[in-house]
Amino acid sequence: MTTAVSSATPQAPPAATLDGLPLTVGLAGREVLLVGAGPVSARRAATFLEAGAVVRVVAPRVDPAMADLAARAGDHLVVVTRSFTPTDLDSPWMVHVATGDPRVDAEVAALCEERRIWCVTAGDSALGSVRVPARTAVATPAGMVRIAVDSGDPRRSVRVGRHVARSLATAPAGLRARRRRATGWVALVGGSGDGDLLTVRARRLVHTADVLVVDGAADAALLAELDDDVEVLEAGPDLPAARVAELVATRYAAGHGVVRIAAAATLAERARELEAGGVEFEVVPGVV
């Protein structure tokens, strides 16, 4: 027996609560088409190349900056000197439009919409389906932490991104990697363990580490800034330096990040202990 089910009254889709969804797009080995070859397109082409994309540029005129970039990029960037045609959309995964002519930009954006190709329109972001956010990054031994900011106002986004990067550099937080690598990293830092006397780079390393080793009692204020699961080792009578070096080598081999803070006068000795344990490390001088 077949039961007839009446369809419900069509409902309108819910109103969007986000003006776009920030995503990281994998472009390595994929074609990105740039329509327009002016200074804006040259800057974006460099960004797409950094992401590993194969870049094709179509424009009747080519800015010197784009020509220079093409000369340096080799086969990864191809410039076709002519006007855009719809067949240019047969192969790219993404399109960037910046021709300086609003009519051409709108035409390309409309064609991309029909073909379901993501499109960035530099002249009028409302025409496209993708925006390129302001970007910055903070380097850590466990890899780069990339930051993207999109406020709808490009200049504002750049300022906010720079502020966030500076904040993470001078007051780092949440920089620890949660996925273990095959081999960890070790930094030998000169200092007393007093957080106020550490260099900016040393503090960033401390906040990236899984294990913190200090001579004597650790600075309570510094420990309060760290994640609860950071292992803290205090070298002293109950934990001699030789044993500390063994523990550091074990943690390093397990893929952990380790910061060993030692007084400047003992850095050379601590370095020899790490070398004897087969540990690769960097030395970060302290404040003197």
For residue 170, which phi and psi values (nearest 5 degrees)? -100, -25
Q: Which residue has the tokens 């379901």?
A: 116
pLDDT at res. 145: 82
Q: Of 146, 204, 153, 115, nearest to 25 (Cα)?
A: 146
Note the pLDDT of residue 231.
93
Per-residue exposure over 11-22, b if at least 16 CB sit within 10 Å of its own CB, e if not = eeeeeeeeeeee
Task: State how far the Cα of 3 lies from the Cα of 77, in Å rounded to an integer.
Answer: 60
Indicate the pairing of strand 145-149 with strand 94-97. Answer: unpaired
φ, ψ (nearest 5 deg) of residue 218: -75, 150
CA–CA separation, 112 and 95 (whole Å): 8
Give me the phi and psi of 219, to 5 degrees please: -65, 120
pTM: 0.68
What confidence score (pLDDT) does residue 37 get? Answer: 97
User: Which residues of the chain fall short of a pLDDT of 50?
Assistant: 1, 5-6
Q: What is the pLDDT of residue 171?
A: 67
Spatial CB neighbours of 226, under 8 Å, sequence gap ≥ 6:
206, 207, 212, 232
Nearest to 209 by CA among 275, 283, 147, 142: 142
Q: In this structure, which amino acid lies at residue 87? A: T
Rounded Cα distance between 67 and 57, Å, is: 10
Pairwise CA distance, residues 104 & 257, whole Å:
52
Backbone angles phi, psi at 239, to 5 degrees: -145, 80
**Nearest in space to 140 (alpha carbons), one of 83, 210, 90:** 210
**pLDDT on residue 136:** 82
Token pair 């906010």 is found at 160
Distance CA 205, CA 222 (A): 13
**Taken in order 274, 276, 281, 284, is the CA torsion positive or negative?**
positive
CA angle 11, 16, 17 (to 5 degrees): 130
First to last CA, the chain: 88
Question: Is the Cβ–Cβ distance between 170 and 162 less than 8 Å?
Answer: no
Q: Which of 211, 218, 261 is nearest to 241 (CA)?
A: 261
State pLDDT tens for residues 192-220.
767 777 888 888 888 889 999 988 877 88
Q: How far apart are CA 269 and CA 275, in angstroms?
A: 10
**Sole residue written with tokens 């419900």:** 8
d(CA 245, CA 155): 49
Q: Which residue, among 232, 172, 227, has the nearest Cα to 201 in the 3D structure?
A: 172
Residue 190 pLDDT:
87
